[in-house]
Amino acid sequence: MGLLKITGLSKKYGAVTVLDGFNLDVTECTLRCLLGPNGAGKTTAMDMITGRQRADTGSILFDGHEIRGLREDKIARRGIGRKFQIPSVIRDLTVQENLFLAAADEVNPLRNMFRFGIGRARGRIDYVAELVGLKTRLAAAAGFLSHGETQWLEIGIVLMQDPKLLLMDEPAAGMTEHEAEKTVEIFNMLKKTHTLLVVEHDMAFVRGVADAVTVMHLGSVLAEGTMAEIEKNDEVRHVYLGTGDVADAA
């Protein structure tokens, strides 16, 4: 049984059908990649899962419970975290301070952090920093991090809330080859303890991390399988026209 199970999800914006009977199953402690050409509905699917947008019909079961229709904050509290592309880190604070603020549930975490230090959150901060490869950068100001490090900190910030399911939209975008390779290592470590759903256009990256792949086209599932199976699929090659080869799609 999947941790996340979506069936028959549909969404229209006016007369435009963006999701059309979309199905998705994500097994616990695996990483599934969501592929598809621009406009296929990948980001919209994530918006439906997190409650940012509402689907018209269909079902989204998370951990066996229906979450379609729940408010965004309620869904987050059930254990679905999402990393956005736009950085949310505070540049003037250090890596560990940014992680602390992400975990804090008090009214004025900033004041308490300066008054009492990061105390109780220490263990979790170290654990998360280790996971995202920032253990040696804890004292660095976030504003001095490289693009790749900033993205890892963003992932760390989401992890501080200990989500069961982590959604990421194009996490390797804009990274150097070296940073993307390191991100592959981070994700392979993460999926031992977390369940991940990742949208990514970088096929080398997908090959490095995906346990399973779903290819979307026009709001529904075109193909599913391992990356090796997907790359051999003629229909998939066809929707990536222009290159004729899913391996070159970007």
Ligand X SMILES: Nc1ncnc2c1ncn2[C@@H]1O[C@H](COP(=O)(O)OP(=O)(O)OP(=O)(O)O)[C@@H](O)[C@H]1O
Contact positions vs ligand X (CB under 6 A): 13, 16, 18, 36, 38-44
Min CB(201)–ligand X separation in Å: 7
| Partner interacting with residue 41 (select from Mg ion, ligand X, none; CB below 5-8 Å by kind) | ligand X
Q: Which residue is nearest to Mg ion (CB)?
A: 43
Would you say 27 or 43 has its CB closer to Mg ion? Answer: 43
Angular region, 45: left φ>0, alpha ψ -120 to 50, beta rest: alpha
| Partner interacting with residue 194 (select from Mg ion, ligand X, none; CB below 5-8 Å by kind) | none
Would you say 125 or 213 has its CB closer to ligand X? Answer: 213
Angle (deg, nearest 10), helices 147-159 and 122-131: 130
The torsion angles phi and psi of 216, rounded to 5 degrees, stand at -100, 150
Min CB(10)–ligand X separation in Å: 12
Would you say 77 or 238 has its CB closer to ligand X? Answer: 238
59 binds Mg ion (CB under 5 A): no
What strands lie across the sheet with 16-26, from one edge to the other?
16-26, 4-13, 57-62, 65-66
What is the three-class DSSP state of 151? Answer: helix
Would you say 82 or 137 has its CB closer to ligand X? Answer: 82
Secondary structure letter of residue 30 according to DSSP: -
For 53, the token pair is 């947008």
Would you say 40 or 75 has its CB closer to ligand X? Answer: 40
| Of 43, 53, 112, 161, the one binding Mg ion by CB under 5 A | 43
Would you say 45 or 102 has its CB closer to ligand X? Answer: 45
Helix and strand tally (H, E) in the chain?
10, 10
For 196, the token pair is 């991940």
| Partner interacting with residue 69 (select from ligand X, Mg ion, none; CB below 5-8 Å by kind) | none
Min CB(36)–ligand X separation in Å: 5
Sequence-distant (6+) residues with CB within 8 A of 146 are 179
Min CB(42)–ligand X separation in Å: 3
Sequence-distant (6+) residues with CB within 8 A of 250 are 201, 202, 203
Binding site for Mg ion (CB under 5 A): 42-43
